[in-house]
Structure 1
Amino acid sequence: MLGSNVFGDSDGRFRSDHPSTENGKGPFPGILDTNVFRGGPFELRAALLAKRNFAVLALAFQGYQDLPKRADRFHLEYFEEGIDFLRQQPEVKDQKIGLVSISKSGDLALAMATFLPGISATVWINGCNANTLVPIYYKDICVPPLMFDVKRTKMTPSGFVDIGDVMNDPMSEEGLPSVIPIERASGNFMFIMSEADRNWQSAYYAKLACDRLETHGKNNYELVRYEKAGHFIEVPYMPFCLANFHGVANQVVYFGGEPKAHSEAQLDAWKRILNFFKKHLEATNHNCKSML
């Protein structure tokens, strides 16, 4: 196991605490882990993936230490630097690289998989198929953001704020320039979506992403549906989050789902994520297996 915290420094450089290993010295496949829009590193998921023989960099991208509290743009060069840092570690050298993302970081992961070289597997959990909220830049490319209309906000019968329909349609005339051209990606995708997600229309966005790949003659994806799960499909046994503070809405909002179905979805999704990364990242001759 890679036992240290590995994360982005606030000045844009990266550091590692020289990880110890329970499962040998590797090399192990590398995974870049980005979290929701708050941007800080979510080290629990990274640590659990490390227990399964992956070397994981939980990367902060805003709202952490002296990174901008709220970025007004994202430059993929920053994430590329993180991936390059991960590749250079002796535990990862010459191994395949994967991405795991959720919510807003889902469209960041799609952009990385599309525009950055050498991404072999991307897990997208209840994200969007279009870039949202702030522009993404990479070299001479700019992907404008899909925006929202707060007038579409509703109230649930229980009194929660429901923002599930506020985002503009990616397939509208103004939305199309924000859609990420994932057909250019060389790696594989796993789209995990909840049909009861009320943060935004994850099921619709996942379908659009899969349809786009199929239209371009590609079958490099898996689609996983959970009918009654809510927005935050986290690692197993994390508490069900029906409503919480939303960093963009700046208030407590309703995230949807039913507790039992959501908890079961987290258990099932974790197994699928591990199998997906093993299938697309692990070398066939890698003989170091976790006992857990």
Structure 2
Amino acid sequence: MAETKQSISLSVHPSSCLVDSKIEIDVKHLPANSKVTLHGRLNSDDGVEWEAFGHYVSDSSGTVKVSRDKSEGGTFEGIEPMGLLWSMRPVPESKPGCRFQKSNVQTPVKVFISVYEGHIAKVYKYLTPLTSAPVERWYLASGVQRVEVTERGIKGTLFIPSGSGPFPAVLDLSGGQGGRAEHHSALLASHGYVSLALEYIGFLNASGKLEHVDNAYFETAFAWLKKHPKVCPDKVAMMGMSFGVSVTLAMTAYSEIIQPRCVVCINGNHIMPLSGSLADVYAALQQNVDKIRYDEKMRLIWRDLLLPIPEDPTKKIQISKINCPVLLIVGEDDQNWPSSESAADIKKMMEKAGNSHLLTLLSYPGAGHLIEPPYSPHVRFSHFKLLEAKTKVMMVWGGETVSHSQAQEKSWQKTLAFLEEHLYDNSREITKC
């Protein structure tokens, strides 16, 4: 292939776009019916290098079109237009337990697509590609504002779409890792929603001890978001992931202040009603530590902590009190929380209460706990910081790569459609608040 190297072309379109956008990858001017390897790599914000690759054979005209042609091997197989992204994994020399998560949403995910001669599987850094092309993948669309929030005792980051507004809004609650995860909120703002990524776990007081927030904290945050001049106050939703689901459902059911237009819940449960402080939840979980399981490599599996689902209604959030539309997203291979069992019980409770018409349940076989925006690398297990113990453990999240990746793409499309329906009233024009 040496005599054709100069003429080989690689096209990646668009070369800069949002992370939930598809890209077209084409290679032209190869010898007919030649074997090549397409390779994708990126460096995450924490310095870990991720990669994916697929084995292709050019057609009679010397072209490989990833959206049309099958990968015959690699980190993915078959016709997978976005396989070079969702099948990414840490390079072999990486430490175990890496999780891909964008910490700085103001910079793009920089992906490099390369073409190599032959079907190869490793040591790419010692090889010279036939051609390469960079791609920028953004969580933050042009014109979206990012604002640090420290008002009225709340901590978070507010993302405001470009334009005069007012806009619908989302109060975004991430999971039990603590800190502040901004990637969901940044992407929501890129699609036309003011979004507040609220920090609510892992606060340290002056003496360095954990300080757990109470229900008033979430009520303050919701009320503050409603009153923001860029927000249409009667079009505010909540979105919870993992631990954030418990907060979202509890606040929606019990609070007189938090009355969202709709809620989105991703892989959580309704078995942890909040009664004053998150400290109560931690205490309840610690009583069930004997239910923790381990896999063959002694990685933690938490899904049994809250099983079996209690029959006693006082031990569950009173779902019957919820009177707004609920989108419940479930990975059936979630190894962290009993999401499937919880969803089935929520459905039963809502049917009994006569409000099942408010529930949209999306359940995905083979999907694990960490359902992220489309084309994000699947992570079956990773390090997790236990806040009370101030130590890191290896946590099993579950999921099979192909099924999980399909669930990420489908559930995100359904989420945007759900928010559009209930916050924009099927119209992008909001003229009155």
Same fold (TM over 0.5): yes
The alpha-carbon deviation at position 47 of structure 1 amounts to: 0.9
Alignment check: 8 A CA contact 2:263 2:325 kept = yes
The counterpart of 1:213, out of the listed 320, 327, 350, is 350
Aligned to 2:270: 129
Supply the AA of the counterpart residue of 2:221: G
Specify the SS of the correspondent of 2:303.
coil
Normalised to the residue count of structure 1, the TM-score between the two structures is: 0.84
Distance 2:374 2:427 in 1: 29
Alignment check: 8 A CA contact 2:329 2:363 kept = yes
The alpha-carbon deviation at position 182 of structure 1 amounts to: 2.0
1:241 and 2:379 are equivalent in the alignment: yes
The counterpart of 2:328, out of the listed 179, 191, 204, is 191
Specify the SS of the correspondent of 1:235.
coil
Question: Which 5+ residue runs of structure 2 have no aligned equivalent?
Answer: 1-140
Aligned to 2:413: 271
Q: Which stretch has the larger CA shift, 113-122 or 52-61?
A: 113-122
Specify the SS of the correspondent of 1:137.
coil
Aligned length: 278
| Offset from partner CA, 1:136-164 (integer Å, 9 cap, x none) | 329xxx99975352323333245533232
Aligned to 1:97: 236
Q: Which stretch has the larger CA shift, 243-252 or 230-239?
A: 243-252
Question: Which 5+ residue runs of structure 1 have no aligned equivalent?
Answer: none
Alignment check: 8 A CA contact 1:30 1:95 kept = no
Aligned to 2:16: none
Aligned to 2:95: none
Aligned to 1:181: 318
The counterpart of 1:167, out of the listed 290, 295, 306, is 306
Structure (1 or 2) with the larger CA radius of gyration: 2
Aligned to 2:247: 108
Alignment check: 8 A CA contact 2:161 2:194 kept = no
Specify the SS of the correspondent of 1:33.
strand
Q: What percent identity do the matched residue pairs reach?
A: 26
Q: Which stretch has the larger CA shift, 260-269 or 246-255?
A: 246-255
The alpha-carbon deviation at position 21 of structure 1 amounts to: 4.4
The counterpart of 1:281, out of the listed 409, 420, 423, is 423
Supply the AA of the counterpart residue of 1:254: V
Specify the SS of the correspondent of 1:253.
strand
Distance 2:296 2:198 in 1: 38
The alpha-carbon deviation at position 213 of structure 1 amounts to: 0.8
Judging changes above 3 Å, is the alpha-carbon distance between structure 1 residues 251 and 11 closer, same or farther for their aligned structure 2 residues? farther
Q: Which stretch has the larger CA shift, 44-53 or 116-125?
A: 116-125
Supply the AA of the counterpart residue of 2:362: V
Distance 1:244 1:10 in 2: 34
| Offset from partner CA, 1:99-147 (integer Å, 9 cap, x none) | 1111111100001211234211111111011216xx4329xxx999753
Aligned to 1:79: 218
Supply the AA of the counterpart residue of 1:76: N
Distance 2:341 2:369 in 1: 13
Distance 1:144 1:171 in 2: 18
Aligned to 1:202: 339
Higher strand content, 1 or 2:
2
The alpha-carbon deviation at position 8 of structure 1 amounts to: 4.7
The alpha-carbon deviation at position 255 of structure 1 amounts to: 1.1
Q: Which stretch has the larger CA shift, 187-196 or 160-169?
A: 160-169
Distance 1:228 1:16 in 2: 33
Distance 1:57 1:65 in 2: 21
Supply the AA of the counterpart residue of 1:205: S
The alpha-carbon deviation at position 268 of structure 1 amounts to: 0.7
Alignment check: 8 A CA contact 1:7 1:57 kept = no
Normalised to the residue count of structure 2, the TM-score between the two structures is: 0.58
Alignment check: 8 A CA contact 2:241 2:265 kept = yes
Judging changes above 3 Å, is the alpha-carbon distance between structure 1 residues 166 and 16 closer, same or farther for their aligned structure 2 residues? closer
